[in-house]
Amino acid sequence: MKCKIGIIIMAALLFVSATGCSSTATVTSTSGTPVSSLTTTAVPQITSTITTSNNSNSSSNSTNGLSLSLSLDSTTYQPGQEVSITVDEVNSLPEINNVLVSNNRPYSGLQAAPCDYISPFGIAVFQGNYNASNFSSGTPLTLYDPHVARLCPTNYPVISYSFQPSLDWAQVIENPANAFNNSQQMKYQLTINGYWPDDNFSSNSQLTNFAPGVYTVVAGDEWGALVVVHFTVTS
């Protein structure tokens, strides 16, 4: 009986040595909530943003639990046809997510609206076919009428966002503490059919329809997420 037990133990040790062992790594969000478990021989590297895209939409997931998405209502338009651009910031965590502003937008020319200082993201449109690594070499088109005088509300610095679980709604926390802290949807839609030429914004400059060609739409947020999509205007 002792001989049989010794043979069984030796066989088990030989089997383990031949097959090897694997380790389990658990990826955890900044809030401490496990996101997923991976069985691998090494701990995977976690990047700050992961960008995916397919034609008319693109999304980027950050390690702070937020997901920035950018989408168009089409990929091909006729001259003069309206282009609908939607950008959305969603809390991907199933719990309240308090995120401090980092002032880390990937491009300074990103803007959501002429008077908007609440949204944690912005967009820009470029004439030409650019990607995430070279779009900044282009010149963003002017999307809002520069001749319109706008009375913007008092600008209190935003210091953080408190996102609701699995939603794009967030309470905007401003400084000073007694400033009006409001809750709103972190989603913006812009519908345009052209741009304002950069001619020193003379009084006789007019809205110009998008000319035939390829255009690049870029969106980025306060935490460095960047997403890119393209559309084409046919002749």
Which of 24-38, 69-83, 89-103, 201-215 comes out lowest in average pLDDT?
Answer: 24-38
CA distance 57 to 75: 9
Residue with the bigger pLDDT between 24 and 212: it is 212
**C-alpha–C-alpha distance, residues 191 and 196, integer Å:** 14
Average pLDDT over residues 208-231: 96
* Band of residue 153 on the pLDDT scale cut at 50, 70, 90: confident
Predicted pLDDT of residue 115: 87
pTM of the model: 0.74
Cα–Cα distance, 83 to 197 (Å, whole number): 18
**For the residues 151-171, what does the mean pLDDT come to?**
91
Q: Which one, of 32, 193, 191, lies nearest residue 97 by Cα? A: 32
- What's the confidence (pLDDT) of residue 202? 65
Which sequence spans correspond to the domains of the chain? 49-233
What burial class does residue 183 get, using C-beta atoms within 10 Å of its C-beta: 0-12 exposed, 13-18 middle, 19+ buried?
A: exposed
Assign 203 a pLDDT band (cuts: 50, 70, 90).
Answer: low
Look at 37 and 207; give whichever has higher pLDDT: 207
Alpha-carbon gap, residue 71 to 73, rounded angstroms: 7
The two structure tokens encoding residue 138: 């282009």
In angstroms, what CA-CA distances link 22 with 9, 25, 214? 21, 10, 48
The radius of gyration computed from the CA coordinates of the chain, to the nearest angstrom, equals 25
Here the tokens at position 32 are 């401490």
Contacts of 181 (CB under 8 A, 6+ apart): 171, 172, 173, 174
**Most confident by average pLDDT, 34-43, 74-83, 106-115, 172-181:** 74-83
CATH number of the domain at 49-233, please?
2.60.40.1930
Dmax of the chain from CA atoms?
102
pLDDT at 39 over 50: no
Band of the pLDDT at 50, cuts 50, 70, 90?
Answer: very low
- Integer Cα distance of 189 and 116 in angstroms: 13
Give 150's pLDDT tier (boundaries 50, 70, 90): confident
Asked if pLDDT for residue 216 goes beyond 90, the answer is: yes
How wide is the angle at C-alpha 74 spanned by C-alphas 190 and 49, nearest 5°? 70
Share of the chain above pLDDT 90, in %: 54
In a 3-state reduction of DSSP, which class is residue 124?
strand
**For residue 41, is pLDDT > 50?**
no
**pLDDT over 80 (residue 48):** no
Q: Which residues pair with 121 in a beta bridge?
A: 221
Q: Are 125 and 111 in contact (CB under 8 A)?
A: no
Q: Has residue 52 got a pLDDT over 70?
A: no
Q: Does residue 126 come out as left (phi exceeding 0), alpha (psi in the -120 to 50 range) or beta?
A: beta
User: How many CB atoms are closer than 10 A to CB 77?
Assistant: 21
Residue 154 confidence class, pLDDT cut points 50, 70, 90: confident
Mean pLDDT of the chain: 78
